[in-house]
Amino acid sequence: MAEAHHESSGSSADFDLSQFYQIFFEEAGENLDLMEQMLLSLNLETADDEELNGIFRCAHSVKGGAATFGFSDVAELTHQMESLLDKLRRHELNPNASMVDVLLESADASRGLLACHQSGNAGQGPATANLVSRIRSLVAGETPPVVAVTPPEAPMAAPVVEPLAAPQSLPAAAPITIDGPRHLEIRFTKLDQPHQADAIVELFRDIPGLGEIKPITSKSGAADTRVFEVQTSSTNEDLLDLFAFHVSREHVTIADMSASGPHEGVQEPVGADALAMTASSAAAAQGFGFFDGAPGSPQSQVPELVPNAAPVVDVSVTKVVQSVAKSPAVSNAQPEAATIRVAISKVDQLINLVGELVITQAMLAQNSRALDPAVYQQLLTGLTDLDRNTRDLQESVMSIRMIPMSIVFSRFPRMLRDLASKLGKKVDFVTQGEATELDKGLVEKITDPLTHLVRNSCDHGIESPQDRIRAGKPETGTITLSASHQGGSIVIEVRDDGKGMSRQKILTKARERGLDVSDQMSDAEVWQLIFAPGFSTADVVTDVSGRGVGMDVVKRNIASLNGTVEIESSEGYGMKVSVRLPLTLAIMDGMSVGVGNEVYILPLSSVVESFQVKSDAVSTVGQGAQLVKVRDEYMPVIELEKVFQVPRYDSDKTSDIMVVIEADSSRVVLLVDELLGQQQVVVKNLESNYRKVPNVSGATILGDGKVALILDTGALVRRSRH
């Protein structure tokens, strides 16, 4: 991962999104699975908002990702699903079984499309036009078209490409390809439910360019048979593929009407007699059986069977051969799984165990120091090796979790570029602090919220070039994304110089939605309103934003990381969203200082300098606020001994070492007894089992297994101001 990143940052001009494809495919797969589970467990009568919101969020996430990566077919389908779900959760429609059906099928189809994209075969996925139209009609409140009885394997069939043994040895029957418009008669026979065929008519209506269809009254007049007259330029192959959604292949026969009379020699090119019919349908059934990936659909049977069937020149067999021939290339192109997704808790456990190992090792080293090297040479050599190995191990384990923010940031330039051009805006994207290392768990969870924030900035924040010029701003807007460690937290900021938020507009919208608001609310409180579920001030709902789902999700995701979101906005000048995350497992360079018998850790990044002073160098102001002069600058002095009420057993000793720290762009001096050293420390959360302690940002475990508190320099600086 790290290497891939360096390469890509080296050639920064052209961002290679493909390194994130895998993550997206995994995330999308999880979201679709989750959505399926929720859909399946959805109780139609008692569906509550939370469930519907959950399903909606899944669809929304998939759509967002698909749009980011340019998978427009997936984005379109999920956009339709989202529209339907949006109506459901707004109670404009009541959920019913056919909606659930169509949503499940759409989820399957999305999965199929994604699989195609993943294997690099865009455009070979299941056709979605029919699904899209079905969802549209549901959204419009119509009764569903009667096509619910879709063969379940059909949407899955195309994408699931399984590598097959010896496909090249198959006799490759040439597919029937005819250019130009053709006049065909298509006959559907032995239908269980004749109305299935009616869906075919809709298919022609929905897919532009497919051609025209006209029903013909069948001569035989059998109830289970439908005949259509079709003008199309598509191949039989494609037609059969399309029909497969509604009618199984063995029921379909296609005849060329321009070649023969309209009602004679009907099945000529397709396999006329009953024998051929059986063979072809058997072949077709076999073909679908193995594409389904079901156990007990032996792959070896296909090569055996195909030669028998091939002379009959059946279209469906041709299809099988074609797919089979393609599959080796596909499976080669499919990237080896270079990553493993592992539960964070397992990594945490590993880190804790390694920490224990390091401490045990330190203890052994301590106890063996007194041994005579001449006598215990082997033991001591072993201990030295152990020392080195444990350190290496610790480093490797730690590095599992830490990745630089640039991994997240580099997702955005492309997305913003596409988005900006779609919206007709000009946007510059600036990133700061890409090297800030962030815990892997946090990175994964912060990516989606950040995506939402950046999209929001572009969509709602930045004005169109004309508006910007009118407002006296440069034509090109700027979106800045920055990451930094601040006061024991990681702060990620999304800033834009757009139009900011309108207090009045938000209050008006909030009243419309029946939220409890008043004009006396502070700005900060008003901005918090946009985090309410379903809140949106956008006038138009686009596929980018405006449904009001984004900020709700952002807040929820960040709150689940124990983080906070703050908004600053100035109408006409832009806004800033700051995401503050606690350092749950960030590694930090720390300086350990001693006060009395206790040890505290200072973040090295905030330490400016340290020096020894005589006690008379400190002057007091008023009733005891202390100041010390450091190179012509007076700085407030904070005695750690007093702040932390450190007990003194040795009254002779006093703190005479001063450490200058800087936080929030102001400096204070800390008075400590001694400087103990510098080390990398793993920041542990005190709040997971205890509570927030004033002036302390976290805790860490020292080499001897003791806990040391990490000072919150930001809080100490603020304390000196009051």
Q: Is residue 559 at the binding interface for another protein, with CB under 8 A as the rule?
A: no
**Using the 8-state DSSP alphabet, how is residue 167 labeled?**
-
Beta carbon nearer to another protein, 351 or 627? 351
- Using CB under 8 A, which of 346, 369, 631, 691 touches another protein? 691
Identify the three-state secondary structure at position 617.
Answer: helix
- The smaller minimum CB distance to another protein, of residues 378 and 688, is found at 688
Alpha helix segments (H runs only) across 334-439: 344-368, 377-401, 406-409, 412-423
Q: Is 352 in the site for another protein (CB under 8 A)?
A: yes
Question: Residue 151 CB, nearest distance to another protein (Å)?
Answer: 47
Q: Which of 648, 653, 692, 703 binds another protein (CB under 8 A)?
A: 692
Among candidates 120, 199, 119, which has minimal Cα distance to 154?
Answer: 199
Q: Answer yes or no whether residue 356 interacts with another protein by CB under 8 A.
A: yes
Which residue in 353, 371, 379, 524 binds another protein (CB under 8 A)?
Answer: 353
**Contact stretch for another protein (CB under 8 A) within 305-313, 483-491, 667-675, 693-701:** 693-701
Residue from 598, 639, 662, 664 binding another protein (CB under 8 A): 598
Neighbours of 219 (CB within 10 A): 9
DSSP string, 476-507: SEEEEEEEEEETTEEEEEEEE-S----HHHHH
Integer Cα distance of 126 and 667 in angstroms: 63
Neighbours of 272 (CB within 10 A): 15
Q: Applying CB under 8 A, which part among 62-70, 135-143, 381-389, 706-714 lies near another protein?
A: 706-714
Identify the residue among 40, 688, 721, 722 touching another protein (CB under 8 A): 688
**Residues in binding contact with another protein, number by CB under 8 A:** 30
Q: Which is nearer to another protein, 7 or 704 (CB)?
A: 704
Q: Which helix (H) or strand (E) holds 321?
A: helix 315-333
Please state, in angstroms and rounded to a whole number, the distance separating the CA atoms of residues 479 and 497.
7
Give 178 or 693: the residue with its C-beta nearer to another protein: 693
Question: Considering the rule CB under 8 A, would residue 701 count as an interface residue with another protein?
Answer: yes
**Apex 601 CA angle, 599 and 602, nearest 5:** 140
CB of 705 to another protein, least distance (A): 6
Shortest distance, CB of residue 379 to another protein, whole angstroms?
Answer: 26
Asked if 93 and 83 touch (Cβ cutoff 8 Å), the reply is no
Work out whether 690 is an interface residue with another protein (CB under 8 A).
yes
Long-range contacts of 676-679 (CB under 8 A, 24+ apart): 676/592, 676/593, 676/594, 676/599, 677/591, 677/592, 678/589, 678/590, 678/591, 678/592, 678/604, 679/589, 679/590, 679/592, 679/703
Which of 408, 588 has the CB closer to another protein? 588
345 touching another protein, by CB under 8 A: no
Q: Give the range of 15-23, 507-515, 537-545, 681-689 binding another protein by CB under 8 A.
A: 681-689
> For residues 587 and 686, which CB has a smaller minimum distance to another protein in the complex?
686
Q: Which stretch binds another protein (CB under 8 A): 27-35, 156-164, 253-261, 703-711?
A: 703-711
Q: Which is nearer to another protein, 575 or 585 (CB)?
A: 585
Q: At what angle do helices 18-41 and 49-69 cross, to 10 degrees?
A: 160
Give yes or no for residue 393 binding another protein (CB under 8 A).
no
Q: Are 42 and 78 contacting, i.e. CB atoms less than 8 angstroms apart?
A: no
Of the two residues 586 and 643, which places its CB atom closer to another protein in the complex? Answer: 643
Judged by beta carbon, residue 63 or residue 684, the one nearer another protein is: 684
Kindly state the smallest distance separating residue 488's Cβ from another protein, in Å: 15
Name which of 667 and 684 has its Cβ closer to another protein: 684
Q: Reduced to 3 states, what is the DSSP secondary structure of residue 706?
A: coil
Long-range CB contacts for residues 521-527, cutoff 8 Å, separation at least 24 = 523/569, 524/566, 524/567, 527/501, 527/567, 527/568, 527/569
Contact 413, 375 (CB under 8 A): no
DSSP result, 537-588: --SS--SSS-SS-HHHHHHHHHHTTT-EEEEEEETTTEEEEEEEEE-SS-EE
Please choose, out of 39-47, 271-279, 493-501, 684-692, the segment that lies near another protein by the rule CB under 8 A: 684-692
Interface residue with another protein among 645, 650, 665, 722 (CB under 8 A) is 645
Does 705 bind another protein (CB under 8 A)? Our answer is yes
- Could you say whether residue 355 binds another protein (CB under 8 A)? yes
In sequence order, which residues have a C-beta less than 8 Å from that of residue 626 and are 6 or more positions away?
618, 619, 620, 636, 637, 639
Instruction: Tell the smallest beta-carbon distance from residue 721 to another protein (Å).
Output: 20
By the rule CB under 8 A, 643 interacts with another protein: yes
Q: Site residues (CB under 8 A) for another protein?
A: 351-353, 355-356, 598, 643-646, 684-696, 699, 701, 705-709
